[in-house]
A = this chain, B = another copy of it.
Amino acid sequence: MTTPKLRMAMIGGGRDAFIGAVHRKAAALDGQIDFIAGALSSNPDKALASGRDLGLPADRNYPSWRAMLDAESKLPRDKRIDFVSIVTPNDTHFEIAAAFARAGFHIVCDKPLCHTSAQARELCDIVSQTGVVFAVTYNYFGYPLVKQARHMVRQGLLGNIRKVIVEYNQGWLATALEKSGQKQADWRTDPARSGAGGAIGDIGSHAEQLVSTITGLEVEAICADLTHFIPGRRLDDDANLLIRFKGGAKGVLIASQVEIGHENDLRIRIWGDKAGLEWRQENPNELWYKPDGQPVQLLRRGNAYLSDDAKAATRLPPGHPEAFFEAFANVYLGAAAAMRKDPKASIDFPTVYDGARGVHFIEKTVESAASDRKWTSAQWKP
């Protein structure tokens, strides 16, 4: 049985962009999504040139997202794009997402969702009013063994969760790379485009989301120490947090971009009163399970002993490693299933609410870092 393909437009992601190409490959991987329209840069000429590079048809290669919104809104339902994928710098997410969602288009939006909790609340309101699907590409959510970990926690294999250590170790900003004109470094260290958080926003938010996904724990209070080690850098490049979760669990969150020798080292360890779990993004096909008093077990992606949702998120047999693109594609698949209201597919992706909670987390971390009090209340209410 053929599944009709969804029509995707992309906003941002033109020439020289990194993450746009990742989104396009991820969206294309399973043959369920066609990339048919774009407004690929805030610069109209660059937008159009980028669209031509990628073979977009001329009539849907837009000079701006406003032009796209205007034109696509006028097309009949069965012709127009199903959703936009927003991969612009963080400061523009809110305006674009709000506009398209209000117009009834589904949204896939990069993280962090937006700059302020007020914006985030407004996006949540629009979603609840319009009923559009709104996915936020916390891509690490898509790894099969993250789903397995979540499953094991939900099943009670860990017992009551006591402690979480989550780390996101990077080293690429250990020098003043932004002064060299490197595009990624430039905008990610610029508060106007990145928001109030540097490392904590860019990668700490992934760490927060991973904890939330796997454990379901809610942050109650935060004690943060934010540092920038590069003189003149305007945002933190190193963040260390103590966390108290509702119910008594304790956490440590480390997010750094000056830890030389670490590439994209997101890792999490969780302990309950029955067992522990450990997972690392750079070796994503392995999950360590540590039941009390017994040998440690190594669970590997693709095996029959895994949970149904971990198996459903897998495309290859054991030992044929899957990685970053497939996890990213799983977020698109989850969103696509929701857009299609597919009753059979598991609808499982990070939503606008995850995005809003993430923005709140960044805000509270920055607030805590500026405070002399040990603990800053940080509970988020949807």
Interface residues of A (CB under 8 A from B): 1-2, 5, 18, 21-22, 24-25, 28-31, 52-55, 162-163, 165, 170-171, 174-175, 223, 225, 227, 229, 238, 240, 242, 244, 250, 252, 254, 256, 258-265, 269, 271-276, 281-285, 288-300, 302-305, 315-326, 371-375
Additional A-B contact list (16), CB under 8 Å, known A162-B229, A298-B298: A2-B55, A24-B31, A25-B31, A28-B29, A162-B238, A175-B292, A258-B271, A263-B300, A264-B319, A282-B321, A284-B321, A293-B303, A322-B324, A372-B373, A372-B374, A373-B373
B-chain residues with CB within 8 Å of residue A28 when the two chains form the complex:
28-29, 31
From B227, B256, B272, B289, A295 is in contact (CB under 8 Å) with: B289
Tell me the complex Cα distance, A373–B372, Å.
6
Nearest B residue to A284 via CB reads B321
* A263/B373 in contact, CB under 8 A: no
B-chain residues with CB within 8 Å of residue A52 when the two chains form the complex:
2
Tell me the complex Cα distance, A318–B175, Å.
17
B-chain residues with CB within 8 Å of residue A319 when the two chains form the complex:
170, 262-265, 281-282
CB distance from A347 to the nearest CB of B (A): 22
CB distance from A143 to the nearest CB of B (A): 10
Q: How many copies does the complex hold?
A: 4
12 A-B contacts, Cβ less than 8 Å apart? A2-B53, A28-B29, A163-B259, A260-B271, A260-B290, A262-B319, A263-B302, A283-B283, A298-B298, A322-B325, A373-B373, A374-B374
CB distance from A241 to the nearest CB of B (A): 8
CB distance from A298 to the nearest CB of B (A): 4
From B2, B242, B258, B321, A240 is in contact (CB under 8 Å) with: B242
B-chain residues with CB within 8 Å of residue A321 when the two chains form the complex:
281-284, 321, 323-324
CB distance from A313 to the nearest CB of B (A): 14
* A223/B250 in contact, CB under 8 A: no
